[in-house]
Structure formats: C-alpha cells, structure tokens
Structure 1
C-alpha cells in the first residue's frame, strides 16, 4: 500500500482528507482512490473517487462513482448512503442529466437519513431536476422545503423567485428575490433575476438598476451578457425624439 493511501486510511475522517487531496492534485487523488478501492476501501473509497472526478469536471464519471458508493453503503447498512446518493444527484445535474439526477435524489430522500441543511439542499437539487424535465408543480413543492431547510442558501431563494416568475406568481417572486438579495446582492444571477422580476412588475427603473448591477458584476458571464441584452431595450435609437 502506497504511503498516501496509508495516510488516507489513518486519517480520522478519510472523506475530509480526500477532499484535501483533490484540491491539491485531483488526478493523483483519482489514482489513490482507485487503489484504495481495490484494497477494499468500500463506499468511502468510491466517494473519494467521485470527489476526485468532480474536481476534474468529469461529472458523469463522478456520478457513477457516487452511485457505486451509495450501493455499497446500502449493502453495509451505512446511513451515509443518503449522502452519496445526494452527491450523485448533484453530479448528474452538472452532467446535464436531470432524469438520472432525479432518480439519485429520490433515493437520497427515500433513505430518510437527511435532516436540516443537507435535506434542504437535496430538495433544492431535485427542484432543479424537476424544472429541467418540465415538472413545475413538483419543483414548487421542493423549493418550499428548500427555502425552509436551506434558508441561508441564496440559490434556494433565487430559484424559488425564478420559478414564481415563470408561474406568474409575482408577489412570491418579489418576496423571494428580496431574500436572495439579502444573502447575495453581489451575485450577477441574483441581480439579473431581480431585474426580470422588476420588469414584470412594471418597474422600469428597478429593472434597469438591477440589470446594470448584473452587467457590472459579471460583464462577460452569461448573467452579465443577458443583462446587457435586457438593457438594450432602454437604448434610444439614433435620431429618435
């Protein structure tokens, strides 16, 4: 067994130690995780592999590793299976596979082991998967849970506000985007959505302010570009009075 694997096994929290390894050299962490798995590392080794692959943006492969970890944990009757399913679902979302993401997230919730913030984050991810597959009603129910259990996460409020706007629930959209702004006013996506909601409410000045903020915060990112396109409607054509 190579020294780094020995270090990993000796760590009080192997998963946390794996995270440290992936930050330093994810490709090497992948190799270590594979050897650890062959050496009988079980679900924790598979989770480590998933983390290493995630750090390399190999999301589909990472999801498969997390799913393998979950299956092993279930065999071992380890309550961490729920966490591994949640990680698999998140990786499937990153891989643009919302159907498989929902299956993994359903499994995470079915395990019944998650509470508080982790539970809220799974509902948040499942809402993302449901929106991607067109189930707005299901997504609304999940986001209601997410904004309660993961209330400190601005993404929960942003997605809830966006969904409310799409469902023509303007009061809910305005309320939820205000919560998102409290937590992440320096996020261009939040400012973009604030502008979208203000525009829907007929508040041209508020829309312009928010879109300008989004463009200022991230001029070359998708949110900043979209804000710039939205602001173009305020341009006065040459020669117009």
Structure 2
C-alpha cells in the first residue's frame, strides 16, 4: 500500500498543455491529494496510465509486470508513464528505494518529459526517499524538483516541495532550514492552510508560542474544520496556559470529526486536562 503524497502525484501524467490517514498509508496520502488537484486532458495514454495505477493498488506485482511490458514498446513520454506506474507499484509494496529509482528514471528518461511533469516525478521520488528515511538524498531530489516547478510556473507544487523540504530538515534535526523552507511555502501559497499549520507546529517546538499562536490562527481561518489544525491549536493554547481555549479546540474536533484519529487524541487530551 502507498504513502499519501506518492499516491496523489502518481495518478496522472504530464499536462499536455503546459501542481496523517486510513486505508492508504500515511506516507502516500498527500501524494494522492496533489495528483487529484492537477487537472489534465483525458487521452488514450492517460487512460492506460490510470489503468496501470489502479492495478497497482490491487496487485502491485501484476502492475510491475504490466509496466515492464508497456516499457518495452513505449516511446517518448509514454516511457516515463510506464516507469511512473512501475514506481507506484514498488511503492505499494513498500519498496521505497526501488520506487524512488523508477520515478527518477521516469523524470530523466527523455526530453519529451516537460518541466511540469519532471517536477511532479521528482516530488514522488523524494517522498519515497523520505519514507525510506533517506532525508539528505530526498533534499537533493527536491532541489531539482523545485527548479523544474519554477521553470514550469507551477507555484502550487513549488509550495508543496518546500513543505517536503521542511519535513526532511526536521527529520535531520535542522530546524532553521526547516523554518526557511516553511517561510518560502507560505510566500508561494499564502492560502495553503497546511503550510501555516506546519509552521505553527515548528514554532511551538522551538518554544516560540507567540509566533505559533499567530500562525495557527491563520491556519484556522483558512481551514476552520481541519481536525489537525484544531488539535495543534489546543496544544499551543495549553502550553500558553490557556486551558479554556485548549478545551474548546479539542471539543470542537470531537464534535466535527468524531471518528477521526485526531478526535481520539483530543479525547485523551481532554481527559488529562480535566484530571485534578
């Protein structure tokens, strides 16, 4: 099964005119979201890619066989799509390094792969590397993806790449670099609630509660019903000594998304808050 960010970027091919979770594992959920937000024109090739990706979610071995067969006769951008599907199949089997290698091979296959598609393939590869724990290599791949996204004028994906860079820097224990990446993400996509949420979380971990409060308020304005934002808002509030605000945030999660994992966490926080 796949990580969220991977699943998302992988479902669609290049734009011919030119970007925490149940059943699908957390590593690939964000990827699926990004893919669904990237509109493409339907073509026969796209249909084959979609079919191969759908097969990968059901039978990753069969999808790898299909992708290898497709690759033998593919030319131009369709070779990249066959490699993309193979990478997705590897990811669904949790072979993260193999998935990353396939995505990078797709990215570098030929000049038929335009900068927009290159940026998305690079982001897929980096997310596979992040999941594999190879954060330093992921940053290198993300730097290339960032350049490709900028060349394509793909600001939304540039912002997502900065969020991925921040994740890698946090994992490497480099909060200053993570903060710079998050600042770039907010500048590129000021309406991206997740950028503000992650910024608030980093500020809170750095004991800058004033900044954390300001940033979580902005995240909440942009997406008032996101349970992750409500959970973080409560944590920031309780650390600032505002138990009533924390209680209100966590109770709102239980009311809005009672079956979510965040609601379960919120309930445990409320129990702790109400203990003598």
Give the TM-score, by structure 1 length: 0.78
Task: Decide whether aligned partners of structure 1 residues 225 and 82 sit closer, same or farther in structure 2, where only a CA change above 3 A counts.
Answer: same
Asked if 2 retains the 8 angstrom alpha-carbon contact of 1:98 and 1:132, the reply is yes
Asked if 2 retains the 8 angstrom alpha-carbon contact of 1:37 and 1:46, the reply is yes
Query: How many residues align structurally?
Result: 225
1:19 has 2:62 as partner:
no
Q: Which of 233, 239, 244 is the aligned partner of 1:194?
A: 233
Give the 3-state SS of the residue equivalent to 2:207 in structure 1: coil
Give the 3-state SS of the residue equivalent to 2:241 in structure 1: coil
Deviation, 1:45, is: 1.8
Residue correspondence of structure 1 range 30-179 to structure 2 within 5 A: 30-40=64-74, 41-54=78-91, 56=92, 58=94, 60=96, 61-73=98-110, 78-79=114-115, 80-111=117-148, 113-114=151-152, 115-179=154-218
Distance 2:229 2:167 in 1: 16
1:206 has 2:237 as partner:
no
Distance 2:219 2:267 in 1: 21
Distance 1:44 1:17 in 2: 9
Give the 3-state SS of the residue equivalent to 1:134 in structure 2: coil
Deviation, 1:208, is: 0.9
1:233 has 2:269 as partner:
no
Kindly report structure 1 stretches of 4+ aligned residues shifted beyond 6 Å.
none
Deviations 1:19-74 (A, max 9, x none): 354246633544332222222343232123224444x363603222212212324x
Which of structures 1 and 2 has the bigger CA Rg?
Answer: 1
Q: Which has the higher contact order (CA 8 A, sep 6+)?
A: 2
Distance 1:13 1:131 in 2: 41
Asked if 1 retains the 8 angstrom alpha-carbon contact of 2:52 and 2:67, the reply is no
Distance 1:192 1:103 in 2: 32
Give the 3-state SS of the residue equivalent to 1:151 in structure 2: coil
Distance 1:171 1:236 in 2: 27
Query: Which runs of no fewer than 5 residues in structure 1 stay unpaired?
Result: 1-7
Deviation, 1:164, is: 1.1
Query: Which runs of no fewer than 5 residues in structure 2 stay unpaired?
Result: 1-12, 14-41
The CA RMSD measured in Å over matched residues stands at: 2.9
Distance 1:70 1:197 in 2: 41
Distance 2:239 2:79 in 1: 52
Asked if 2 retains the 8 angstrom alpha-carbon contact of 1:188 and 1:218, the reply is no
